[in-house]
C-alpha cells in the first residue's frame, strides 16, 4: 500500500484559512489501511476544523465524504455536486489522489491533508515500514522476495556491508540487517547459491520521473 | 461545561463527584463500558458541542476489566492533547484521571 500520514494540524488549518465551504474527501484505498485518510480520519479532521473555527468565532461549512478511490476519476461522479458547491477540496488521499482531483477539476482549489511517504506494509499495530522503492527493475527473484533497496540504508546489492553486526543494521541498530534476513530465508529455501551470484549494476534510468507505463494492446 | 466520561467499572463515588463538580461548575456525566471504548472522535465531539473541558475517569492500567482499556484511552488522550495544543486550546483541556475500582459509593 501507499503509506501516508496526516500533515501537522497547524499546517492544514493555515492552508484552509481563507475558505468557508470545505469538502474533506477521504479515500477507502491505501490511506484507509494506513489510518491516515479513511472515513474515520475524515470525520476527525472535520471535527478538528469545526472546533478551531468555533474557538475563533469564524463561520465554516464542512462536508465530509469518502470515496472508493481518488486515483480514478470514475469515483468522482457521484460526488460531483459536492465538489462543485465547495470552495476547496481538502483531500485526504495520497499525492496521486490529489493530482487526479486537480486534473479532473481545473477550476477547483485542491489541497493535500496528508504527506505521502512510501510503499510499505503494516509491520505491527501502528507501525508501517517501507518495502518497495518502485525502482522499475525488480530483483526480488534473486533476493528471496526481500527487497534490499528499500530496507538497506546503503542500498547494498552485494550482501551485508562491513558494519553489519550480529544480524543488525549498522545505521539503524534496532533493525535487522536486510542481507541477514535474505541469507536466512535463502538458507530456508535451500537457495544459498544465490548469495554467491553477483547482481548486475542497477539500471537507475528507470527511476527517472515522470515515469509512464504504456500498454499498446490496451490503448484505444 | 465539563464533560466527564467515566468507566462503569471504576469506583467513582458521590464524594468524588462532589469534588469534581465543585471545581468544574456545570458537569455532564457520561458512563461508558470501558474508557478503552472511547475513540478519538467521541472525545473531540464535546469540544465541538461547546464543552470547555473533557475529563476521563478510568481504572488503573493493571486493574482494567478489559485489560488494556485504560492504556488505550491514555494513548488517545495524548493524541487529542497534541491536537488541542495545535489549535490553541491547550492540552490541559482534556485529561485522564485514574480512580481505583469499586472503592464504594462514599469514596
pLDDT of the residue at B102:
66
Q: Determine, yes or no, domain membership for A7.
A: yes
Per-residue pLDDT band for B106 (boundaries 50, 70, 90) equals very low
Q: Are A153 and A133 in contact (CB under 8 A)?
A: no
Mutate to test the interface with B, among A51, A54, A56, A66 (most CBs of B within 10 A): A51
Percentage of chain B lying above the pLDDT 70 cut: 94
**Cα A168 to Cα A178: distance, rounded to the nearest angstrom:** 8
Contacts for A102 with CB less than 8 Å, ≥ 6 apart = A108, A110
The verdict on a CB contact (< 8 Å) between B48 and A55 is no
Q: How many domains does chain A have?
A: 2
**Percent of chain A at pLDDT above 70?**
100
Within-domain flag for A73? yes
Question: Which domain covers residue A14, as residue numbers?
Answer: 2-118
Question: Average pLDDT of chain A?
Answer: 96
Using an 8 Å Cβ cutoff, are B13 and B100 in contact? no
Residue A141: inside a domain, yes or no? Answer: yes
Q: Are residues A105 and A141 in the same domain?
A: no
A151 and A74, same domain (yes or no): no
Q: Does A47 touch chain B (CB under 8 A)?
A: yes
Residue identified by cell 484505498 is A29
Low-confidence residues of chain A: pLDDT under 50: none
**DSSP type of residue A132:** E
**In angstroms, what CA-CA distances link A47 with A61, B23, B47?**
11, 27, 9
Instruction: Check whether residue A143 and residue A192 sit in a common domain.
Output: yes
Closest CA to A114 of A11, A1, A204: A11
Residue that terminates a domain, selected from A83, A118, A153: A118
Task: Assess if residue A216 is contained within a domain.
Answer: no
Q: What is the mean pLDDT of chain B?
A: 89
Spatial CA neighbour of A114 closest among A216, A208, A206, A29:
A29
Q: Do B44 and A8 touch (CB under 8 A)?
A: no
At residue A145, the pLDDT reads 98
- List chain B domain ranges: 2-98
Residues of A in contact with B91 (CB under 8 A): none
Residue pairs between chains A and B whose CB atoms are closer than 8 Å: 35
The CA angle A81-A46-B76, to the nearest 5 degrees, is 150
What whole-number distance in Å separates Cα of residue A86 and Cα of residue A102? 14
Amino acid at each position: 500500500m501507499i503509506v501516508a500520514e496526516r500533515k501537522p494540524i497547524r499546517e492544514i488549518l493555515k492552508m484552509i484559512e481563507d475558505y468557508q465551504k470545505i469538502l474533506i474527501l477521504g479515500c477507502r484505498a491505501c490511506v484507509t489501511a494506513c489510518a491516515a485518510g479513511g472515513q474515520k480520519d475524515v470525520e476527525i479532521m472535520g471535527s478538528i476544523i469545526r472546533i478551531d473555527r468555533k474557538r475563533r468565532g469564524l463561520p465554516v461549512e464542512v462536508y465530509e465524504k469518502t470515496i472508493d478511490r481518488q486515483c480514478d476519476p470514475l469515483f468522482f461522479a457521484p460526488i460531483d455536486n459536492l465538489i462543485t458547491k465547495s470552495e476547496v477540496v481538502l483531500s485526504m488521499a495520497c499525492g496521486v489522489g490529489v493530482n487526479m482531483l486537480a486534473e479532473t477539476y481545473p477550476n477547483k482549489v485542491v489541497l493535500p491533508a496528508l504527506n505521502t511517504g512510501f510503499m510499505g506494509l503494516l509491520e505491527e499495530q501502528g507501525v508501517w515500514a517501507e518495502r518497495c522503492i518502485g525502482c522499475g527493475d525488480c530483483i526480488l527473484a534473486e533476493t528471496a522476495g526481500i527487497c534490499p533497496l528499500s530496507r538497506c540504508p546503503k542500498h547494498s546489492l552485494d550482501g551485508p556491508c562491513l558494519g553489519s553486526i550480529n544480524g543488525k543494521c549498522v545505521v539503524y541498530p534496532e533493525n535487522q540487517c536486510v542481507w541477514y534476513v535474505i541469507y536466512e530465508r535463502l538458507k530456508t529455501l535451500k537457495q544459498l547459491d544465490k548469495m554467491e551470484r553477483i547482481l548486475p549494476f542497477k539500471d537507475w534510468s528507470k527511476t527517472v520521473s515522470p515515469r509512464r507505463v504504456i500498454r499498446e494492446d490496451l490503448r484505444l | 461545561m465539563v464533560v466527564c466520561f467515566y468507566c462503569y467499572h471504576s469506583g467513582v463515588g458521590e464524594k468524588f463527584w462532589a469534588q469534581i463538580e465543585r471545581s468544574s461548575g456545570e458537569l455532564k456525566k457520561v458512563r461508558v463500558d470501558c474508557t478503552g471504548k472511547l475513540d478519538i472522535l467521541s472525545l473531540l465531539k464535546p469540544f465541538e458541542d461547546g464543552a470547555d473541558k473533557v475529563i476521563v475517569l478510568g481504572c488503573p492500567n493493571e486493574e482494567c476489566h478489559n485489560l488494556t482499556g485504560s492504556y488505550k484511552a491514555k494513548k488517545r488522550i495524548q493524541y487529542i492533547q497534541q491536537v488541542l495544543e495545535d489549535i490553541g486550546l491547550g492540552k490541559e483541556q482534556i485529561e485522564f484521571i485514574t480512580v481505583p475500582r469499586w472503592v464504594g459509593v462514599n469514596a
